Amino acid sequence: IVVVTYGEGGCEIWTGGEPERIPADRIPRLADTVGAGDMFTALFAAMLDRGDAPRDAAAAATRGVAEILRLRV
């Protein structure tokens, strides 16, 4: 599994075939993204640990980070 994050551009995940792009939610007036990558990694790992498929884990992590960042606006 390889995941590349692109900030506002979401992420791409490779699980053996072609990469799949997962878009990020748009957050108006986003100011502080410190720790967003760390949050993504923690959420992604937690989702995998509970048995989610890699694509589903990446999508959940992307949504989770957006929810946290919305609180910083």
Count other Cβ atoms within 10 Å, centred on residue 36: 19
Q: What gap in Å lies between CA 72 and CA 39, rounded to an integer?
A: 14
Mean pLDDT of the chain: 92
**Model pTM score:** 0.88
Residue 73 has pLDDT above 70, yes or no: no
Residue 52 has pLDDT above 70, yes or no: yes
- Residue 63 has a pLDDT of 94
Q: Which amino acid is at 67?
A: E
